[in-house]
């Protein structure tokens, strides 16, 4: 397997403490026309008008064919170069308080298959494909994809502040649903930055290759609404029955990121969505309606169920989940803790995966699962004065959710 870290000029980096919620570094990248999609639409031939973005670190501008998107989690600290001897990440004691908070032990008892065989796409910075924690937990390599380098080796690349982000996100899904199959798809560089055109293609790829849950711990400003991404989400739900989980963002204010912002809105009254109805997207109103039903937006709380200072919030947020200091594998056989709505989202993806690994109660459809999960959360409004009605229906409770669907 190719060692992509060699291409970055740094084959190994020491894991050092990093600022919690550091600013995303926005770097220039260009859009490549992708030939892999077999969806019967023509959007690959035409993209929305280029948008100019300011690169925070250099105070210069870059022109992109799609909209910029970035990861929504940052490494908080690490234990250094702790090694794994097996692929078991289900019993990490470092996260015990979080597991208690979301009732994971009881949930895993209710779902003895632990998500066996359910394919979960992690659309992110890639993962460390060689980390022992992932042994036996990955989808077939024929399903893997790297849209940054244009190959089938979605290996994390060292050199940027988001190095290890996708590895962490994937491991969190695994810690909730230990027998899930992780489908790694790389759309963000090591600084955690990517192009929405690639993200749209990645969603297509994930759906076409059997992902039943698609996790996007990334986002862009709500103003950067993207018809290509919106159509990919709609088609993944309508044509392939996938469930979508979106991180709300780390703005610390009421500016929820796209695509999470569209989940609870009325898509057919949204002017930006209406613009997608014409060619080449032809996004019909009925297709948008499915986005509301089969996707979830997720914000973050701490271990005391207080809204995380960094978490985006607002009336259109659907739920929250723990997202601070979640421990897991880090590239190069190491371990680290990360914080962000990026970490809250895969806990929800894992919960859906546990449900999909079992026989659902008669009358319950797969598309019912997101609304049931949201409805079975624990309200935390009383613990968050000033944010009532702004942090979703409540905090993830996987036990309550599974008791309602089995």
C-alpha–C-alpha distance, residues 131 and 174, integer Å: 13
Domain holding 278: CATH number? 3.40.50.200
CA end-to-end span of the chain: 41
In terms of Cα–Cα distance, which of 218, 174, 396 is closest to 301?
396
What is the distance between the alpha carbons of residues 205 and 244, in angstroms, rounded to a whole number?
Answer: 14
pLDDT given for residue 54 in this prediction: 20
* Burial class of residue 356 (count of CB atoms within 10 Å of its CB; 0-12, 13-18, 19+): buried
Q: Is residue 9 part of a domain?
A: no
Domain assignment present for residue 324? The answer is yes
Give the single-character DSSP code of 40.
S
In a domain, 15, yes or no: no
Instruction: Determine whether 165 is an active site residue.
Output: yes
Q: Which member of 103, 131, 137, 165 is catalytic?
A: 165
Residue 245 domain boundaries: 22-405
Of the candidates 150, 148, 146, which has an alpha carbon nearest to the alpha carbon of residue 129? 146
The H or E element spanning position 23 is none
Is 281 within a domain?
Answer: yes
How many structural domains is the chain composed of?
Answer: 1
Residue 40 lies in a domain: yes
Candidates 103, 124, 204, 232; catalytic one: 124
The answer to whether residue 342 is catalytic is: yes
- pLDDT, position 268: 60
The answer to whether 334 and 78 have CB atoms below 8 angstroms apart is yes
Show Cβ contacts of residue 323 under 8 Å, excluding neighbours closer than 6 positions.
Answer: 73, 299, 300, 301, 308, 311, 339, 340, 341, 342, 343, 344, 347
| Model pLDDT, residue 142 | 98
Respond yes or no: is residue 128 known to be catalytic. Answer: no
Assigned domain for 6 exists:
no
Residue 258 CB neighbours (<10 A): 23
- Cβ within 8 Å of residue 386, ≥6 positions away: none
Answer whether residue 2 is part of any domain: no
Report if pTM > 0.75.
yes
Return the pLDDT at 293.
Answer: 79
Q: What is the DSSP letter of 310?
A: T
**Per-residue pLDDT at 6:** 39
Is residue 1 in some structural domain?
Answer: no
The residue written with tokens 């969603």 in the block is 203
Catalytic residue among 201, 337, 342, 349: 342
| Phi, psi for 215 (deg, rounded to 5) | -100, 125
Going by C-alpha positions, the residue among 108, 87, 63, 77 that lies closest to residue 15 is 77
Q: Cβ(92)–Cβ(327) under 8 Å?
A: yes
Q: State the alpha helices, DSSP H only, in 142-267.
A: 165-176, 196-208, 227-240
**Whose structure tokens read 């990026």?**
342
pLDDT in tens, the chain (406 residues): 545 653 333 222 222 222 222 222 222 222 222 222 222 232 332 334 332 222 122 222 222 335 566 776 665 444 333 444 444 555 578 899 999 999 999 999 999 999 999 999 999 999 999 999 999 999 999 999 999 999 999 999 999 999 999 999 999 999 999 999 999 999 999 999 999 899 999 999 999 999 999 999 999 988 888 889 988 999 999 999 999 999 999 999 999 999 998 876 665 666 767 778 888 888 877 666 667 779 999 999 999 999 999 999 999 999 999 999 999 999 988 888 999 999 999 999 999 999 999 999 999 999 999 999 999 999 999 999 999 999 999 999 999 999 999 9
Residue 121: in which H helix or E strand, if any? strand 119-124
């Amino acid at each position: 397997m190719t060692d992509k870290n060699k291409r970055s000029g740094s084959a190994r980096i020491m894991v050092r403490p990093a600022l919690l919620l550091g600013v995303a570094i926005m770097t220039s990248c260009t859009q490549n026309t992708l030939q892999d999609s077999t969806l019967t639409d023509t959007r690959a031939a035409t993209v929305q008008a280029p948008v100019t973005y300011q690169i925070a670190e250099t105070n210069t501008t870059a022109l992109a064919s799609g909209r910029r998107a970035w990861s929504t989690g940052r490494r908080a600290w690490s234990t250094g170069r702790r090694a794994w001897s097996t692929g078991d990440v289900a019993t990490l004691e470092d996260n015990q308080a979080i597991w208690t908070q979301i009732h994971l032990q009881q949930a895993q008892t209710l779902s003895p298959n632990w998500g066996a065989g359910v394919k979960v796409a992690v659309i992110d910075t890639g993962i460390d494909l060689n980390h022992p924690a992932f042994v036996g937990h990955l989808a077939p390599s024929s399903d893997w994809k790297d849209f940054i380098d244009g190959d089938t080796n979605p290996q994390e690349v060292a050199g940027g502040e988001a190095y290890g982000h996708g590895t962490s996100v994937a491991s969190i899904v695994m810690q909730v649903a230990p027998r899930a199959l992780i489908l790694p798809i790389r759309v963000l560089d090591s600084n955690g930055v990517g192009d929405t055109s690639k993200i749209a293609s990645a969603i297509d790829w994930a759906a076409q290759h059997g992902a039943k849950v698609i996790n996007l711990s990334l986002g862009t400003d709500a103003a950067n609404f993207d018809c290509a991404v919106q159509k990919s989400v709609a088609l993944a739900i309508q044509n392939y029955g996938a469930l979508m989980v979106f991180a709300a963002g780390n703005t610390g204010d009421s500016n929820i990121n796209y695509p999470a912002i569209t989940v609870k809105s009325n898509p057919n009254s949204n002017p930006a969505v209406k613009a997608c109805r014409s060619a080449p997207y032809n996004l019909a109103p009925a297709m948008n309606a499915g986005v509301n039903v089969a996707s979830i937006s997720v914000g973050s709380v701490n271990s005391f169920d207080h809204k995380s200072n960094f978490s985006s919030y607002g009336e259109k947020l659907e739920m929250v989940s723990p997202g601070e200091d979640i421990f897991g594998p880090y590239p190069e056989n190491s371990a680290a803790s990360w914080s962000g709505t990026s970490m809250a989202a895969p806990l929800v993806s894992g919960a859906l995966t546990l449900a999909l690994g079992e026989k659902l109660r008669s009358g319950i459809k797969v598309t019912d699962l997101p609304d049931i999960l949201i409805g079975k959360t624990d309200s935390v409004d009383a613990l968050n004065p000033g944010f009532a009605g702004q942090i979703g229906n409540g905090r993830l409770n996987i036990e309550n959710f599974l008791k309602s669907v089995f």
